[in-house]
Amino acid sequence: MLTKATNVKYIKEENQRISTLLAFALIPLSGFATDIYIPSLPTMAGEMQVSSVQVQLTLSIFLISYGISQLFIGSILDSFGRYKIGLISLVIFAVASIIIAITHNIYLIYLMRVIHGLTVGAIVVAKRAYFVDLFSGDKLKHYLSLFSIIWSTGPIIAPFIGGYLQTAFGWESNFYFLAGFALIFAVLEFIYSGETLKNFSNFQLKTILNVYLNMIKTASFTLGIVMLGLAYCMVMVYNMTGPFIIEHELHFSPVIAGYSSLILGFAWMVGGFIGKATINKPFFKRLLINSLLQVVFVILMIISINFISNIWSLIFFAFIIHIGAGFTFNNYFTYCLSKFPNNAGIAGGLTGGITYVIVSFLSYGIVNLFPAKDERNLSFSYIVMIMLSVLVMFLIMKTRKKDEVGA
């Protein structure tokens, strides 16, 4: 049942262009919230006198809460609107960031990272819905096609900024930056944006749960989400271990760690562009070739460590492997969303939510199995995830023999 809301501040037509730019600018927020303090992880562990695993857990906790948030926030936004929830979430995110900056208590930081995940989930999903509310046809397709490219700017730019902030002002400055970013956008949203949802639906939990259940019971869809989780987990494992290898083992500065993450962010983007360029090629054939290339390069990485192990070899092999991960993610994200065109919103939330939950648990488990010690351990982490990807891909092929992905 749909109802027309009253006493709602709807977006003004003359502000729509500025509001659209603000929506695009907020899409990479999840990447900023995880990647900006990556170069600071070793310093945070040292200053708070906690282990590397404890400080790495701040990333996993964010990913879990961000993933869980996406599972249910779409239905809430459909029932109660996008604008107010998004605006309030920006303010809460800023407050949580300030609390992280002024405390050195790792457990309080854990709590604030839960709040970060929940609020970022609300903000990002609300902004995705913004475009569906206001645009249609070719214009909507054009905007949606920009999402993955714009999102990837977060993981590319954030570590680069974070490395300089860490060197100049300390790790706390990363979270002051996030707080300032959120507050500035909250003010701009208040001035220029407004509600875009015209008809509010009743919140019917039973109906929503049935849709979720039917999607999860579709084996190829669920396995496709597992592939997304494995692909992004390769990036997250590097994010959790790379700074420790570069700063502790190779004795470079946080700025160099930030540059390294920036380079690997480009690798992910390149993989996405290759995925988009090959969209009309046979789906499973191109994914199989990609997986085999990843296996070859990770084996070469393991062998090469016996002869050379420095920052250049580390970045070279990680760059190639991350291109493959970006390619996999791009293809399987389209694959999963195309499964349920009549429930694309819920499918998108479910896909994103479960993906981040998988990434959070798997990445934390892998860095415990192969601690952030050296390039050899990183290569072992990669080969575990790549071999799991190959196994899951064959399971998908078995459960969906006649599947073909359309353009």
Question: Comparing C-alpha atoms, which of 42, 77, 68, 71 is closest to residue 56?
Answer: 42
Instruction: Tell the residue number behind the tokens 């979430």, with chain if given.
Output: 89
Q: Model's pTM, two decimal places?
A: 0.75
State the number of CA atoms in the 13 A half-sphere of 9 facing the CB. 12
Interior angle at CA 38, CA 49 and CA 183, nearest 5: 100
Tens of pLDDT, residues 312-360: 999 999 999 999 998 888 788 767 766 765 555 566 677 778 888 888 8
Question: Comparing C-alpha atoms, which of 42, 20, 73, 37 is closest to residue 178?
Answer: 37
Residue 69 tokens read as 């948030």
Rounded Cα–Cα distance for residues 170 and 193 (Å): 34
**Per-residue pLDDT at 361:** 84
Neighbours of 220 (CB within 10 A): 17
**Per-residue pLDDT at 321:** 93
**Per-residue pLDDT at 343:** 57
For 195, the enclosing helix (H) or strand (E) is none
Rounded Cα–Cα distance for residues 232 and 28 (Å): 15
Rounded Cα–Cα distance for residues 95 and 104 (Å): 16
HEC string for 134-155? HCCHHHHHHHHHCHHHHHCHHH
**Per-residue pLDDT at 375:** 86
Question: Comparing C-alpha atoms, which of 66, 74, 406 is closest to residue 236?
Answer: 66
Block mean pLDDT (10 aa), the chain, length 407: 62 86 89 87 90 87 88 78 91 97 94 95 85 74 68 79 89 95 95 82 71 81 89 87 85 84 84 79 84 91 89 92 89 72 62 82 86 84 91 82 45
Per DSSP bridges, beta strands 2-4 and 199-201 are antiparallel
How would you classify residue 372: left for phi > 0, otherwise alpha for psi between -120 and 50, otherwise beta? Answer: beta
Rounded Cα–Cα distance for residues 330 and 324 (Å): 10
**Per-residue pLDDT at 405:** 43
Expressed in percent and rounded to 5, the helix, strand and coil fractions of the chain are 80, 0, 15
Instruction: Tell the residue number behind the tokens 């959070």, with chain if given.
Output: 360
For 201, the enclosing helix (H) or strand (E) is strand 199-201
**Per-residue pLDDT at 130:** 81
Tens of pLDDT, residues 375-392: 888 899 999 999 999 898
Rounded Cα–Cα distance for residues 297 and 294 (Å): 5
